[in-house]
Every structure is written in structure tokens, then in C-alpha cells.
Amino acid sequence: MVSLHPSSVLAGQTTFAQPFLLFHEKVKTSAVYVRDASVVSPFALLLFGGKVNVEHLKGEVTLDNWLKFSVSALNAAMILKMREKLMACMEKKTSDPKCVFFLFFLRGHLV
């Protein structure tokens, strides 16, 4: 069993607004603690997580070959397209830090 480190801003909380918790470090002092923890939404994981596998007929998206989400075919396609555009923006920004982006949504689609 692990606990949130007492110095964490999340320490003492027993319920969270999102189902996932990311952490940077696990340490053992008087108990086993996680530090630098943050609550994360499934959508953030799907956009910025690892390898995504979409099974449209099952209505399922798998992240990193183990974490499964129920997602409609249309939403899965939109997530993949948004990931593609975000990754392209990040690659462009890292190669050209002065570059400025403006993201627009048109009828529910990132353009």
C-alpha cells in the first residue's frame, strides 16, 4: 500500500475528481509514499500518453497495451487526429521556440 506524501497538496484527500493519479517518485521512509502527484483525466492520458491502439468495432481504445477505454469510433478518430496535431505542434515548437500557434475548433473539430 502507498500513501500520498504528507507534503503533497493532495495529502489527506480520499476522493478525487478524476480516476487517475500520476506521480514522479515513490519513496520509502516511515511508510511508502508517492511524491509530486497529480490527478489526471482519461482524456489527458489519451492525448499525451503512450502508444494508442484503436479497435473501432469493439468501441475500444487501448493505451500502452494495457489501459482500456470505451470510446465510440467517431470519438476515437477525433482523439487520434487531435493527438497527431498536438504532436506536430510540439515538434514544431521544440524546433522553433519563437513559433506561435493558434488552435481553433470548428463544429467540434480541431482545425
Please report, in tens digits, the pLDDT of each residue of the chain (111 residues total): 899 999 999 998 989 999 999 999 999 999 999 999 999 999 999 999 999 999 999 999 999 999 999 999 999 999 999 999 999 989 999 999 998 877 666 666 655
Alpha-carbon gap, residue 39 to 41, rounded angstroms: 7
**Three cell numbers written together for 97:** 521556440
The continuous run of DSSP H or E covering 70 comes out as strand 67-70
Q: pTM above 0.85? A: no
State the pLDDT at residue 6: 93
